[in-house]
Amino acid sequence: DIVMTQSPDSLAVSLGERATINCKSSQSVLHRSNNKNYLGWYKQKPGQPPKLLISWASTRESGVPERISGSGSGTDFTLTISSLQAEDVAVYYCQQYYSSPLTFGGGTMVEIK
Amino acid sequence: QVQLQESGPGLVKPSQTLSLTCTVSGGSVNSGSFYWSWVRQPAGKGLEWIGRVSTNGRTNYISSLKSRVTISLDTSKNQFSLKLTSVTAADTAVYYCAREPEGDYADYWGQGTLVTVSS
């Protein structure tokens, strides 16, 4: 199984400042046949289901603000919130869908400093 | 707009079988290249992918639950279901159903249902 490791577990950022979340996979999730990274990012607020933010490591879903972006390839990935807003307070998860079983990172809680 | 809704008992006794159903609206469970999956989340903890079923009935499960879990489609009711046998307190969690296009990321989720295992 592919193990997904996120860091940090939590971070507190001032409004308007940058938040950066890291995700590392135990093996590459880059499919050579199509050059796609099988990596997604989700946002979860208390009492709500996860919401897909980013697919294919860097493709923003419809309606996701441009301040949220994904980057990385192979085994190392980053979710960046360029200018933190109050509505960004949540837990963020990465997930690999390269191979079954699909696996999630442990989550990163983002709070306002 | 696709919508998913979980249903089933909120309380299950230890050693019994947990049974949940996910009703899909706004789309058909047996059309397109979709997988229909279950994910659970114990209180205050992270997400655990349990398994999935494809539109043609193929299944994948997480290894740790493989001996106890069955996920299946009911195309006549446009639903899919989760059965987990021999439950213990460790199976207490919010259970989510979700849709995975071509077995990739989950783009639509149900609201989740809390299942508590207790006598």
- Is the peptide bond preceding residue B42 cis, with omega within 30 degrees of 0? no
Q: Taking CA atoms, what residue in A is nearest to B104?
A: A97
Q: Taking CA atoms, what residue in A is nearest to B111?
A: A49
- Token digits for A95? 């997930």
pLDDT tens digits for B37-86? Answer: 999 999 999 999 999 999 988 999 999 999 999 999 999 999 999 999 99
Residues of A contacting chain B (CB within 8 angstroms): 1, 38, 40, 42, 44, 48-52, 55, 61, 93, 95, 97, 100-107
Residue A112 in this model has a pLDDT that exceeds 90: yes
**pLDDT above 70 coverage of chain A, percent:** 100
Place of tokens 């783009």: B107
pLDDT tens digits for A10-52? Answer: 999 999 999 999 999 999 999 999 999 999 999 999 999 999 9
Q: How far off is chain B from A24, nearest CA to CA, in Å?
A: 16
Residue B31 in this model has a pLDDT that exceeds 90: no
The reported pLDDT for the residue numbered B27 is 92
Q: Do A49 and B96 touch (CB under 8 A)?
A: yes
| Chain A residues near residue B103 by CB distance under 8 angstroms | 97, 100
Q: Do A52 and B110 touch (CB under 8 A)?
A: no
Which residues, 6 or more positions from A109, have their beta carbon under 8 angstroms from its beta carbon? A9, A10, A11, A90, A91
